[in-house]
Structures are given as structure tokens and as C-alpha cells.
Amino acid sequence: KDDYFYVGDSETALVGRETNTSFGIGDLVLVKLLAVKVDERKIDLKLIRHDSLDRRGNREVRKRIIKRTKLRGN
């Protein structure tokens, strides 16, 4: 679903206005750039993947995802 995201109260996450979906610092996201609207100061992105990883233990998982993404050239 399309949504407009803003910086949340904690200033460490983007929060969807309609869906209340949030993306926090440390979350891994893969997006596709759809459009850049310089005059409106907006960018349109399509979410491909979102992995919300807790910070305590998932460093190895995070490294594997980043490495796999770089190898694909995405």
C-alpha cells in the first residue's frame, strides 16, 4: 500500500502516516527508486524488502544480507 512517511517522535524512525509501518535505525531495507521530484523535494521509492532486526544478536544475519545484496548488484 502506498503511504507517506515522516520522522517519528523519537527521531530514529520513519513512520507511515496511513499504515503506521515504521523503519528504524538498523533495519535493513531494499528499495527501488521510482522517481525524483526535485521541485517538490520528494522521492518515490518502492519497498522490495524490509528486515527489522534486533540489535542484540543478528549481526551475522545482517552481514549475510548485505553481502548477498551487494553480490546481486541491487
- Domain residue extents for the chain: 5-72
Which pLDDT score is estimated for 73? 63
Which pLDDT score is estimated for 56? 45
CB 22 within 8 A of CB 12: no
pLDDT band at 11 (very low <50, low <70, confident <90, very high): confident
Measured at the CA of 17, the angle between CA 11 and CA 18, to 5 degrees, comes to: 150
Which pLDDT score is estimated for 29? 86
The answer, as to whether pTM is greater than 0.85, is no
Q: Is 38 helix (H, G, I), strand (E, B) or coil?
A: helix
Q: Give the model confidence (pLDDT) of 17-73 as tens digits.
A: 999 888 888 888 889 999 999 999 999 999 898 887 665 456 666 677 677 767 666
Rg (CA), the chain: 14
